[in-house]
Structure 1
Amino acid sequence: MAKKVAISVGHSILKNGNCTSAGGCVNEYAYNKKLAPLIKKYLERAGWKADVIRCPEKKFAAKTEEKSYKLPLINKGTYDLAVELHLNASDGTGHGAEVYYKTETGKVYAQRVQKKLAGIFQDRGAKKDDHLYFLNGTKPPAILVESFFCDNKNDYKKGKDLEKVAKLIAEGIFGGKITKKEAAAEKPPYTAVKKSSGKEAIKWLQKKLNACYTGKLPDLSVDGIWGPKTMAMLRAYWKQLGWKKGSYAGKKTCTALFKDRKK
């Protein structure tokens, strides 16, 4: 059975517009908001299941509400591992990567991720900590990743390659190399989606059309109902790719959507 991981983005943006994270050369929250989906991508490439958990923006009045939102989602999700993403900060001179854990299982994951990150950042080690709410409050084993110092120019220069950092963290979690060959073996969940298809298939089609169609039509409601708006966007997507019209999304269309093809 595939392992399942929750990838939590540390911090949030409060009602008043203030961000609860550190800043410097890059904002900690903004960076990890982009990093989390990339880690998910690589883990799914390796056969894992992954969910990104991020606090809703401009909803909370105080940062203390972050844990009340995230922890219940993680604890009811039957996850094998929970990962929270952070960046460190000091006075601009601190640098390097460190990963925190509490349990022995967490230690295994923390050491693997730390070893990977130490390939490009200074190795500050995998460290046990009993005082972090994320490590104390999650039912599954958990790790907290401080990828680098967001107020250090040299660290940020290395960390700007989000794909590279994401792949390193994902490989540390997975415990091995994640190759292009594995990615090529991936297949779309559906080979055809039509009016008579089930709701989940149509929802998948609607969601992928919203992500891949770049024209002026408004986003579809992801409701699993094959209506005229779904058909209109499907036809607009074919036109976007230079394809002839059809009456349903066949294998060619499903593959293009699965690969997030826009041209």
Structure 2
Amino acid sequence: MLTISAGHYGKGTGASGYMNEGEETVLLVQELGKKLQQKGVKVNVIIDKQSKSQQQNLTYLVKQHNATQRELDVSIHFNSASSQQKEGIGTEVLYVNPSMSAFAQKMSTEIAKAGKFKNRGAKQRTNLAFLNGTTKKAILIEVCFVNSEKDVRLYRTNKDRIIEAIAGTLKSYFPNIKPPAPVPVPTPAQPVKPAPPAPSPDQQTITSKALQQKVEAIFNDKEAVREQLKQGVQIGAFQPLWLENFDLGKLTLYDYIALTTLQNKKNNSNM
């Protein structure tokens, strides 16, 4: 969808002051490329690692841009004033094609807002090799001034926001981009609760049929049984798991007898 390049060819090239333009443009373009891909924007990233002069660099960048399939060309630069100063100077975005004026102004506004720079706005320039040589619509971003102490400080402080602002504004140039599909997040496995111990054979026998009928009658009063089990949990006679088993219909008559015994024992020990 777009091709973006660092406007110089490494450390020691371009303007310098409180920051080196050649070095920082390369770093910024690499991060912008990653951010654009995250936003679903198809992007070509161009870094010049072979030029030995400014003229070679300009020729290389224009040729590489024109060799790519894209709808928009973007060049990243940092500006320079005639001398170093403490005050902020700001950000601006350059264009040659009049149809890019509004977009250049939008880009300048968003960068200024993110970096807390002065907004110098969109400026038409007809004498720049990149803007004149690329065959698609293009903008040249001057992020801030390398010899403004305040600009560089603001850039360092707000770099992540500036990258987000540039990437987001570039994405807005392509209104039909579909957002990338979300990465599914695996659902953590739920811990398996241990099954209650099975009652032993001697717990499963009541020798008196009449006694068994009475116990079963008590056990069939579900509300009373639940309240009793709830009290047993509250006093610490047994674990809440047994109350959960009752609610799930898993508690047996013999479980209930055993739990009642534990509850009575707990009550007696508290007296």
Same fold (TM over 0.5): yes
Count of aligned pairs between the two proteins: 173
Whole-angstrom CA distance in 1 between matches of 2:152 and 2:57: 26
Residue 75 (structure 1) aligned with residue 71 (structure 2): no
Q: Deviations over 1:226-256 (max 9, x none)?
A: xxxxxxxxxxxxxxxxxxxxxxxxxxxxxxx
User: How high is the sequence identity, in percent, across the aligned residues?
Assistant: 29
Q: Contact conserved, 1:99 with 1:111, CA < 8 A, in 2?
A: yes
TM-score, normalising length: structure 1: 0.61
Residue 37 (structure 1) aligned with residue 30 (structure 2): yes
For the residue of structure 2 that corresponds to 1:127, the secondary structure is: strand
Larger radius of gyration: 2
Aligned residue in 2 for 1:155: 151
TM-score, normalising length: structure 2: 0.59
Whole-angstrom CA distance in 1 between matches of 2:27 and 2:13: 17
Q: Contact conserved, 2:95 with 2:140, CA < 8 A, in 1?
A: yes
Aligned residue in 1 for 2:42: 49
Q: Contact conserved, 1:7 with 1:53, CA < 8 A, in 2?
A: yes
Q: Contact conserved, 1:80 with 1:140, CA < 8 A, in 2?
A: yes
Q: What is the CA-CA distance between 1:152 and the residue it aligns to? A: 1.1
The structure with more helix, counted as a fraction of residues: 2
Please show how residues 100-119 of structure 1 align to structure 2 within 5 Å.
100-119=94-113
Q: Deviations over 1:162-210 (max 9, x none)?
A: 322111111222228xxxxx678268xxxxxxxxxxxxxxxxxxxxxxx
For the residue of structure 2 that corresponds to 1:52, the secondary structure is: strand
Residue 10 (structure 1) aligned with residue 2 (structure 2): no
Residue 133 (structure 1) aligned with residue 125 (structure 2): no
Give the gaps of 5 or more residues in structure 2. Answer: 174-178, 185-271
Structure 2 counterpart of 1:89, from 73, 80, 90? 80
Q: Deviations over 1:69-93 (max 9, x none)?
A: 1112111212111111111111123
The alignment's C-alpha RMSD in Å is 2.1
Give the gaps of 5 or more residues in structure 1. Answer: 177-181, 188-263
Aligned residue in 2 for 1:241: none
Q: What is the CA-CA distance between 1:125 and the residue it aligns to? A: 1.1
Change (3 A) 1:64 1:186: farther
